[in-house]
Amino acid sequence: MIFKLAIATPLYQLFDYLPPLDIESDNIQLGSRVVVPFGRGNHKKIAVLMEITDYSDCEFDKLKRVERIIDQHSLLSAHDLNLLNWVSRYYHHPIGEVISLAFPTALRQGKAAKLAAEKNIQTTELSNAALTSNPAQQTAIDSVCASLGQFAVFLLEGVTGSGKTEVYLQIIHEVLKRGQQVLVLVPEISLTPQLEARFKHRFAVNIAVSHSKLTDNQRQNAWLQAQQGISPILLGTRSALFTPFRNLGLIILDEEHDASFKQQEGVRFSARDTAVVRGKLLNIPVLLGSATPSFESLHNVAKQRYQWLHLPERAGYSIKPVLQLLDIRNKKMREGLSEALLSEICNTLANNEQVLLFLNRRGFAPTLICHSCGWVARCLHCEANLVIHADEALLRCHHCGTEHRLINTCPACKTGELTPLGLGTERVEKVLAKLFADKTILRLDRDSTKRKGTLENYLEQIHQGDVDIILGTQMLAKGHHFPNVTLVAILDVDSGLFSIDFHTAEKLAQLIIQVSGRAGRAEKIGRVLMQTRQPTHPLLTTLIEHGYAQFANSALAERQAAQLPPFSYQALLSARARDAELPPVFLQAIIDLAAQVDNKTVLLLGPAAAPMAKRAGFHRYQLLLQSKQRSDLQALLTTLIPEVAKLKLAAKVRWSLDVDPIDLY
């Protein structure tokens, strides 16, 4: 009897071991964790049993023996193992590291799968009363409920404020009545507290929550509660997708378009695409919700792979906000705020309504420049400027985290006046405090919400009406319901209009619509002002005059003409090293390997320097693979990647593969 084990190493293989002497095959389940000796010395590893066979490529007397079996009953089902095997195959990542991703930290380290004692919720009612649905909501609810117990993918496209969450809640109610569980994924940690509150208000059941801000014990508890069927609902971020369930009946992805659903390091999986595969394996429906669907999902609707559900109107009495461009060319500005915008802010505050200002750049200013000689504070390790953080008196690189004390004298000319260039949320906050000294201003960004509980406290202040002006970054862009916000201003819409990455226009359009959706969520009419020096740019004019759907249609037509995704399929091979000459040589070796394969349909573009050619001290190059057929690209990668791992240069560079990349930066 040979155990084939998955071990968290960067090697593309399972490892063969002999079972413990006192074990019979009937007493061990696939998916169980075991302890094994690994490598030289007395080193131990936690492994997961993937297969039991009677054959090994290794000589029998050279096989090591499993030391101990941790789990008498597997923590992962056959469905869970099938999903993880698919992730390993599709994203071409070592199976041991993929399996490791499925476990919370404590279980990964071999600790016992024990649930911490918690008070059981005793209840006679499954849920509190639902809100009255409008016809579009009811159609969506009925469509998904009719598919419970079978595989189908639904794209719920609803304008911001259209009541998508209420649709989720009523469908979840039906799933719970069937005695099944629900997995709800959100893109950002900042969205979990308010969604959890709504779920707890509606459902008198145990709701588990899983995201990276929780302790290891809290995450393990949530994992085990879902796995043992104690929690009918699990609410989590991307990695919660791999949590095992006793009886999963529905998967929901809110804000399905969000880039946070794609992991950008380690196992570079898409939670959206993998959720669809999980739904297919379990024969259950998957519901994708968004006001601004991804182009991939819209393409799948057009191909009739997904069913389209539409909520065209805001729920209740609220109406869509009015979008307007503010042309700031040749206009006097006060730290990024035009006179016209300041006037609108004053009018809104005079009506006892709240203002939300959006600027997707934290810190005080993105650049420190010498007014005399033109010297710029650059990161020594990245091709990037150091960002000024005035409150902490620091210069910080937002790419590698390097920090320096804020300096007063130019190191180049020794005499020049150092001047902050550009805008960050800190800088705007300071000018707002001067201009509106009698008002309460709240800044929401990654710097101001570092401490545990701060974000929840700030959101509560906004809801209580204790805040007049809300200033923030992307964490404000989606999901939040601020009923008294009637004016939303995007301070620098132009920064996203020009990029070498073809995804940027889609992301900017989504961001504009999502931010705009924070305005006029209740009965009051909302307005959205966008400061721009490009008032005739087609992206902006199309969005304002025709909406997101028309923009998406025209942008998809452009993508089709250029044969870009979703009309083709891509994989990005990246390599980095401290020696600038190694990455391009390594990628060229991969091109040479590909030339030996019978491949006529996959284009290999590169090697080329990455848009940010140096980051954290590493020189970065990339190779883009593109094909009209997903199967052809996958076939080449299946042949290529195991051979890449064997190249001598592979040990001298750090390399990674990103299948279906959404960020070419």
What is the average per-residue pLDDT within 337-364? 94
Determine the pLDDT at residue 469.
96
DSSP annotation string for 26-56: GG--TT-EEEEE-SSTT-EEEEEEEEEES--
**Distance set, CA 23 to CA 26, 37, 54, 581 (Å):** 8, 17, 15, 53
Q: How many helices (H) and strands (E) does the chain have?
A: 16, 29
- Walk across the sheet containing 307-311 and list its strands: 207-210, 233-236, 181-185, 248-254, 285-290, 152-158, 307-311
pLDDT at 74 over 80: yes
Determine the pLDDT at residue 122.
46
Determine the pLDDT at residue 32.
95
**DSSP 8-state assignment for residue 650:** G
State the maximum Cα–Cα separation within the chain, in Å, rounded to a whole number. Answer: 84
Residues 135 and 121 sit within 8 Å (Cβ to Cβ): no
**Token pair in block for residue 336:** 């990024």
Angle, vertex CA 374, rays to CA 372 and CA 380, nearest 5: 130
Domains of the chain, start order: 2-77+85-108 (3.40.1440.60), 135-311 (3.40.50.300), 322-365+422-555 (3.40.50.300), 569-659 (3.30.70.600)
Assign residue 488 a region (left: φ > 0; alpha: ψ between -120 and 50; beta: otherwise). Answer: beta
Locate tokens 């997707």: which residue?
360
pLDDT at 324 over 60: yes
DSSP annotation string for 202-215: HB-S-EEEE-TTS-
Lowest mean pLDDT among 7-21, 208-222, 472-486: 472-486
Helix%, strand%, coil% for the chain, nearest 5: 35, 25, 40
Determine the pLDDT at residue 478.
65
pLDDT at 87 over 70: yes
Q: State how far the Cα of 29 lies from the Cα of 156, in Å rounded to an integer.
A: 39
Locate tokens 């998406």: which residue?
552
What is the average per-residue pLDDT within 549-555? 94
Determine the pLDDT at residue 352.
93
Q: State how far the Cα of 82 lies from the Cα of 282, in Å rounded to an integer.
A: 10
What is the average per-residue pLDDT within 607-633? 95
pLDDT at 125 over 70: no
Residue 499's pLDDT band (cuts 50, 70, 90): confident
Determine the pLDDT at residue 261.
96
What is the average per-residue pLDDT within 430-434? 95
Find all residues with CB under 8 Å of 287, minimum gap 6, and list them.
Answer: 144, 154, 156, 168, 171, 250, 251, 252, 253
Digit-coded pLDDT (tens) for 564-584: 999 999 999 999 999 999 999
Rg, the chain, Cα only: 27
Phi, psi (degrees; rounded to nearest 5) at 67: -85, -40
Determine the pLDDT at residue 516.
86
Locate tokens 């929690």: which residue?
231
Lowest mean pLDDT among 368-377, 448-457, 468-477, 552-561: 448-457
Q: State how far the Cα of 359 lies from the Cα of 357, in Å rounded to an integer.
A: 7
- Greater confidence (497 vs 190) lies with 497
Assign residue 266 a region (left: φ > 0; alpha: ψ between -120 and 50; beta: otherwise). Answer: left
Q: State how far the Cα of 256 lies from the Cα of 433, in Å rounded to an integer.
A: 36
Which amino acid is it at 363? G
Residues 624 and 602 sit within 8 Å (Cβ to Cβ): no
Q: What percent of the chain has pLDDT over 90?
A: 74
pLDDT at 457 over 90: no
Digit-coded pLDDT (tens) for 99-124: 999 999 999 999 999 887 665 544 44
Q: How many CA atoms lie within 13 A of 343 on its CB side?
A: 5
The runs of H, that is alpha helices, within 235-381 are 271-282, 295-302, 339-350
Residue 651's pLDDT band (cuts 50, 70, 90): very high
What is the average per-residue pLDDT within 588-600? 92
**DSSP 8-state assignment for residue 451:** S
Lowest mean pLDDT among 22-31, 206-215, 361-370: 22-31
Its pTM surpasses 0.85: yes
Digit-coded pLDDT (tens) for 213-258: 888 899 999 999 999 999 999 999 999 999 999 999 999 999 999 9
**Distance set, CA 483 to CA 138, 366, 514 (Å):** 24, 32, 15
Residue 626's pLDDT band (cuts 50, 70, 90): very high
The pLDDT mean for the chain works out to 91
Residues 580 and 615 sit within 8 Å (Cβ to Cβ): no
Find all residues with CB under 8 Å of 209, minimum gap 6, and list them.
Answer: 192, 196, 218, 222, 234, 235, 236
